[in-house]
Structure 1
């Protein structure tokens, strides 16, 4: 999903202010990726299937901790953890980042890491919630679609 915005400087202010935000959906919650999520996220990223589909490299726990801190502080990225609304169990993540070489363009990626939560429409719900957030709070616009 590609996003664009026409006003200079909008991303830093909006993304930094939203670190304590919770987005509530019908079946899921989206919460900012924070230090308490790193251990479980690190376990997900040991899975060969997840590494393959996300194009990621395995990291040590210390590297994952540093990565979370970096993502938390960077204004051109926004990562939320997807929680099951009822159990509050971590089931995946959704993130948005902006391209360095294309000033106002970026993309959204979603991952349902917990296999028992896949194929239930939760990634679609997360994407709809996150796009609504990006549009309403950040002023982003969808400019073209991409399916993998």
Structure 2
């Protein structure tokens, strides 16, 4: 619906508008990854724009490794690999996810990989090097 001789004008947000009120009638669209979402006054965008985070102290052999996955949407699948071998695999239906696993003794220097994938398709992968315990007794006492 343009008047002859008038070019469409560019509006904020990257589209073209033929009237100054066209923006108010159409919901603004936002492109996130592979999906196109309408953000007409919704907090959904804030939830989807968040990234997953892993909060943890470095793992140490012979001790419990505790960590928290923040920012996941829906069910989050958590997999832990120690030197390529799966040592922990679980689903967390209600993020934030609090996980704990004992690192076996003698695994100092090994690579621990934590992989978290939520139902929205976001993937978090974090690698750690397992620390060694100091003053580890290597033998037994004899009289």
What TM-score does the superposition give when structure 1 sets the normalisation length? 0.25
- Richer in helix (by share): 1
Greater Rg by CA: 2
- Richer in strand (by share): 2
